[in-house]
Amino acid sequence: MRVKGVFQLYATVLSMILLASCGTQSGAVSVSQEEKAVFEQQKGDPVKIADAESKYEIVIIDPGFYSWLKSFAQPEGYYSQTFLENRNAIYVMNWNQRVLLPMQYNSNLYELQIDYDPDIDYGYEVNYKLYNYFIYFQRKYNQRLGPYLPRI
């Protein structure tokens, strides 16, 4: 009797965990119609992410990014530089791994590696724009570059 009771308790707890994990974490991010419209833009200026001191530069040619950055991203100063650096380190590492696995990940999405050294201070603006590009990219292409949902 005692073993049967323990087994039933274990089975009940396991069922509750499975139901909770299935129902609460879909991984999908809700995207508004306005945001989808920005994602579908065909024209737009490239965004240059640069820091004169570190001579670091990225040019983002995705036509909707600049509009998205101005319309949907949190304003500059919302996040600390440390927060941005920590997230960027994770996102860059996952991005670069995907570039190296073109048979597993879409090589049209992950074309080039990003040279980002967490030991270099790129400044707030570079980290802010790079972080927001990762959020934009994940939301637009329904990708996950880390353990965090790409929220705005």
Please report, in tens digits, the pLDDT of each residue of the chain (152 residues total): 554 544 444 443 333 333 333 333 445 788 899 988 889 888 877 888 777 776 777 788 888 999 999 999 999 999 999 999 999 999 999 999 999 999 999 999 999 999 999 999 999 999 999 999 999 999 999 999 999 999 88
Asked whether the beta carbons of 136 and 62 are under 8 A apart, the reply is yes
Domain that holds residue 82: 30-141
Q: How many CA atoms lie within 13 A of 107 on its CB side?
A: 5
20, part of any domain: no
Query: Domains in the chain: how many in total?
Result: 1
106, part of any domain: yes
2, part of any domain: no
124, part of any domain: yes
